[in-house]
Structure 1
């Protein structure tokens, strides 16, 4: 592990889906907060997005990751999204499911840098840069 960053947004603690106004705010803040977290993890690791062989996301949905990639200027082809429709969101297991897919499928080789990113209940955003 080369770096780990976390951003917590306590104003979204609980279940935003139960409060329509809070849900709209969460959806508006989701991408910028995820991008900030990813960029901070890369900075701490001393790497750029272009140094990554792969980004392993949480498997919430493909659309949000495509939008994040557009905003970051990162090729979506270097984000492992195949498990989103195949497996779906497995909560805390997403990173491990995606890592297994990446290693067994040959998308990660020894020495490659990769980033795991996730957001969860309580509006906690995390990103970790690793070297395989």
Structure 2
């Protein structure tokens, strides 16, 4: 991203219904020992899920809250739908177009991103920034809508990675780089294709995947902070996906208290949405401070690792003047 974008607004949505792992064990085929492992080792206890609602019920509430903040909806030039599960609708339906039309944004272009699985939302911010740079219009905006349904046991339980997936929706409004908001300062990502098998990895491959993942996350987090020309002393919070990061935190020498995972037990991993769920939880508790720097972290099965540094609610950039 040559000219960094600004995330002007972030909203999230969680279904009201909460389930314990014990309540889901039967439908997921989990044995008692496996339940205990997910609880004690991976820190998972509950998830949110709306068994009666569809995809639009999950993703539209956060997007509509974003639209309430947009004076002129025609400024939204693109709608990007981010999903981690590749099959989200029957093949003859275009989920991105359905979301765009449900939001009454038919004037906007729409497409979906999914290739980086749960790390895709950070890639979508970069894509949005590139689109806005090409537009060259200070009023142009990109709406990113994020969310996946846990519609089968196979995409809800990724046991070899220790992930139990919950449902959540999120939405972001991305603006040009020189408007007030969360200014993106850097983006680092890497993919290790040898783990492209994902849930099909063998037991030994899964163990090595876990070891390599910790180092890969540390590498991209370090790279993002360095690209932003900051040090870890400048970072107020690390805002990650909902997964234990003990080894990564140790590799970086971070204070674990600066890594926000307080909702891991309650929400579990929510595909590509949970980074922004954690952001809105911090914001709701008044724990984000204007002018401070924060790090987003996400990894996607397959395996992609991404990190992004932003400055929270940065003021508008002063225009360049000639001397």
Q: Return the TM-score normalized by structure 1.
A: 0.92
1:71 pairs, out of 240, 245, 251, with: 251
Q: Which moved more, 1:16-25 or 1:113-122?
A: 16-25
Q: Is the 8 A contact 2:195 2:201 kept in 1?
A: no
Q: State the alpha-carbon separation in 1 of the partners of residues 254 and 201 from structure 2.
A: 33
User: Which consecutive residues of structure 1, in runs of 5 or more, have no partner in the other structure?
Assistant: none
Q: With CA pairs under 8 Å and 6+ residues apart, which has the higher RCO, 1 or 2?
A: 1
1:44 aligns with 2:227: yes
The secondary structure found in structure 2 opposite 1:74 is coil
1:34 touches 1:125 (CA, 8 Å); kept in 2? yes
**Contact 2:218–2:249 (CA under 8 A) maintained in structure 1:** no
- C-alpha distance in 1 between matches for 2:305 and 2:242: 14
Q: Is the 8 A contact 2:195 2:303 kept in 1?
A: yes
Q: How far apart are 1:131 and its partner, in Å?
A: 0.7
Aligned with 1:10 (options 181, 190, 193): 193
Partner of 2:203: 20
Q: Compare the two structures and name the one with the higher helix fraction.
A: 1
Runs of 5+ consecutive residues of structure 2 not aligned to the other structure: 1-183, 313-323
User: Among 109, 112, 118, which residue is 2:292 paired with?
Assistant: 112
Question: How far off its partner does 1:31 sit?
Answer: 0.8
- Give the structure with higher Rg (CA): 2
1:121 is aligned to 301
Provide, for residues 4-34 of structure 1, a one-character-per-residue CA deviation record: whole Å limited to 9, x for no partner.
Answer: 0101000000225541221122112011111
Q: Give the distance between the partners of 1:20 and 1:47, measured in 2 at CA.
A: 39
2:212 equivalent to 1:29: yes
Q: Is the 8 A contact 2:215 2:251 kept in 1?
A: no
d(CA) in 2 for partners of 1:29, 1:14 = 15
Q: What is the Cα deviation at residue 95 of structure 1?
A: 1.2
TM-score under structure 2 length normalisation? 0.39
Secondary structure of 2:207's aligned partner? helix
What do you get for the CA RMSD once the two structures are aligned? 1.2
Secondary structure in structure 2 of the residue aligned to 1:98:
helix
Match of 1:84 in 2: 264
Aligned residues: 129
